[in-house]
Structure 1
Amino acid sequence: MTQKAQKTQKKQTTQKTQKTQKTVLIVSGTNDLHALAVRRELGSRDCHVRFLACDRIRDHPLSFEYGREPTLVIGGRGLEVGAVSTVWWRRPALHQRLPVGALDDDQVHFVDTNATATLRSFLSASFRGTWVSSPEATDRAGDKIHQLAVARQQGLRVPDTLLSNDPSAVRDFHRRHHGRVIIKAARNSGRVFLATCPVDLDRISDAQIRAVPGIYQEWIPGTAHLRVNCFGDEVHAALIETDDLDWRPNINVPVTPYTLDPALERQLIALLRALDLKVGMMDLKLTDQGDPVWFEVNPQGQFLFLEPLTGQGLLASFADFLIRQ
């Protein structure tokens, strides 16, 4: 083969490789450890990966105009949005990183609102690949009452639940369940985190109940908690054994891999599809009789903390999942 022919073959091979390589765009906050870990993992594969720090929109010029190619610059390098195969809509930050004291509170709120809206509009208008998961599905699935309704439709057992700020309704619900009731936030604010905890209505006034609507649920006894990470049809479950009602504040407890009943696994995958989610981190609990009770799904929950505890290769599995999209 002549030198010219070799160069031509090498060029064609390079072009073919570039066409078959996946390009994944990760959208999250600057210091999101999950996003950074997955970016590194993808970078070690045959995959192009770019990380859009959405709390630094001023550092990433973007433009969309009908009739023209959209433009997006990340780290000083342009990104062809049409070449992106997958967007991992990880955890879009609402608050921009701005110079301290440069703007007053109202101006900061204005910048945050417009930056968030612009990024979402830009990607929705210009991206034609696969979302993991779409902003609309992520927002909808973040509604805990909607989650529970869809889970019930899939045949999953869920706790008896009340969403209310009506003192009479809350106190009646509490009586019907003989005081065995827990409360959780309809949505944590990012500034204040409310862990799931028992309800003591003797210490809560009617005014407090009215002030902050909450989700009240029957208390499900048991010490076997399940954290189930669903990456499409791939399911990784962990058993967390603790007396604590909410295991999240303290995971210095036995945590082991867990094999789900095949029928339950199928239900969880069907639930993910019904919610139009590509991924979801689900929380369940086993009763003392071993029956699973489904609590909730986080469309972009944390999962890497389980890898050193269970030995499950979650980072590699999730990176493979993104590449397959």
Structure 2
Amino acid sequence: MNVLIITHSQDNESISLVMQAIKAQGGKAFRFDTDRFPTEVQLDVYYGDGKKCILTADEQTLDLDAVSAVWYRRIGIGAKIPNTMDKQLRQASIQESRVTVQGMIASIKGFHLDPLPHIRRADNKQLQLQVAREIGLDTPRTLTTNNPIAVKQFAQECPQGMISKMLSSFAIYDEQGQEKVVFTNPVSAADLDNLDGLRFCPMTFQEKVAKALELRITIVGKQVFAAAVDSQALDKAQYDWRKQGVALLDAWKPYNLPQDVEEKLLKLMAHFGLNYGAIDVILTPDQRYVFLEVNPVGEFFWLERCPGLPISQAIAQVLLSQSGA
């Protein structure tokens, strides 16, 4: 069984972990670093007297008709096309490369973890909250808007305070090329008097939810792996544990979810047709489980180190077992 892993060359150790697990379970894995296409990786898609679809990288050749499963992980089309190229021509090259790869992915008949249309639909955070509420999951009061008046009115509904966040994941780079990730942040009284920037970009605001623990729940197929961390132990992690992600690496512990919460999360996954998802949940001091979001291609690698959850083995198992279904 051949598994195609779609990623980029700067992806983390999750790739090697899953590749090792696939090999250990009797399969073969082929890594496609999309940032190396079209400059270093070749793709031949032929329709004529029959069909031929061949991917070549580092003198390795893969017949895509022989692929039994696809793991869609990351994408970075055209990143190595020279920046010295004419700007418009470079953008056109990236766009043509992107649709070429997307067409290739769509035409593979094997099992997909997960199909791109499912990922794109599930990536809509507003829809996630709607579906979660319908399923019966507890969710925080949330407002997405570019209207300063609406924000001030919403603040009145949040006596414990509120936070701001973005619906899309992105980073801003300074002149030195340093990455500045946009984290979740508290909204102060001064911020409420300085909302003019909303006319250029909408933001999402949520009521502040008290935290006893923060949970990262990784679902692979029907297997549920839950881990918890006390983010409130570090001042800079109280609103977004990722700010102190390195400091908290060894602080994660296995966690047993209540059966009803687990069942609702599995219903959420089934609604979106997902076989994989990384879910963020807050456990409040009064034992409420508050759903924040599901990341259809979210990270998991640090949970393999501590507390040692076998997520990569579960991913390999789904890829290999479903490929023959």
Match 1:316 to one of 310, 313, 316: 313
Looking at structure 1, the residues matched to 259 and 49 of structure 2 have their Cα atoms a distance apart, in angstroms, of: 50
Whether the 8 Å contact between 1:96 and 1:111 is mirrored in structure 2 is no
Runs of 4+ in 1 over 4 A off after TM superposition: none
TM-score normalised by L of structure 2: 0.87
Answer with 106-115 or 285-294: which moved more: 106-115
**1:146-225 matches, cutoff 5 A:** 146-178=127-159, 180-191=161-172, 193-203=181-191, 205-225=194-214
Shift in Å at residue 158 of structure 1? 0.7
User: What residue in structure 1 maps to residue 6 of structure 2?
Assistant: 27
Pair 1:69 & 2:58 matched: no
Residue 50 of structure 1 aligns to a residue in which SS? strand
Bigger-Rg structure (1/2): 1
Pair 1:98 & 2:86 matched: no
Whether the 8 Å contact between 1:225 and 1:239 is mirrored in structure 2 is yes
Question: What do residues 72-111 of structure 1 show as CA deviations (whole Å, max 9, x unaligned)?
Answer: 222234322222111111112244212352x133332222
Q: Give the % identical residues.
A: 26
Number of aligned pairs? Answer: 302
5+ residue gaps, structure 1: 1-21
User: What residue in structure 2 maps to residue 117 of structure 1?
Assistant: 99
User: What residue in structure 1 maps to residue 239 of structure 2?
Assistant: 245
User: What residue in structure 2 maps to residue 108 of structure 1?
Assistant: 90
Looking at structure 1, the residues matched to 258 and 63 of structure 2 have their Cα atoms a distance apart, in angstroms, of: 44
Residue 162 of structure 1 aligns to a residue in which SS? strand
Shift in Å at residue 145 of structure 1? 0.4
Looking at structure 1, the residues matched to 78 and 154 of structure 2 have their Cα atoms a distance apart, in angstroms, of: 38
Q: Taking CA–CA contacts closer than 8 Å with sequence separation of 6 or more, which of the two structures ends up with the larger relative contact order?
A: 2
Match 1:258 to one of 255, 259, 269: 255
TM-score normalised by L of structure 1: 0.87
Answer with 309-318 or 133-142: which moved more: 309-318
5+ residue gaps, structure 2: 173-179, 233-237
Whether the 8 Å contact between 1:227 and 1:238 is mirrored in structure 2 is yes
Residue 242 of structure 2 aligns to a residue in which SS? coil
Shift in Å at residue 239 of structure 1? 0.7
User: What residue in structure 1 maps to residue 223 of structure 2?
Assistant: 234
CA distance change for structure 1 residues 202 and 269 in 2, over 3 Å: closer, same or farther? Answer: same
Looking at structure 1, the residues matched to 123 and 222 of structure 2 have their Cα atoms a distance apart, in angstroms, of: 20
Residue 85 of structure 1 aligns to a residue in which SS? strand
Shift in Å at residue 31 of structure 1? 2.2
Pair 1:55 & 2:44 matched: no
**1:276-315 matches, cutoff 5 A:** 276-315=273-312
Looking at structure 2, the residues matched to 266 and 233 of structure 1 have their Cα atoms a distance apart, in angstroms, of: 10
Question: What do residues 248-303 of structure 1 show as CA deviations (whole Å, max 9, x unaligned)?
Answer: 12132431000111111111111111011110000000111111000001101110
CA distance change for structure 1 residues 190 and 53 in 2, over 3 Å: closer, same or farther? Answer: farther
Shift in Å at residue 312 of structure 1? 1.9
Looking at structure 2, the residues matched to 67 and 272 of structure 1 have their Cα atoms a distance apart, in angstroms, of: 41
Q: What is the alpha-carbon root mean square deviation over aligned residues? A: 1.8
Question: What do residues 141-169 of structure 1 show as CA deviations (whole Å, max 9, x unaligned)?
Answer: 11110111111121111111111011111
Question: What do residues 169-212 of structure 1 show as CA deviations (whole Å, max 9, x unaligned)?
Answer: 11111122136111111102354521111112523523212222
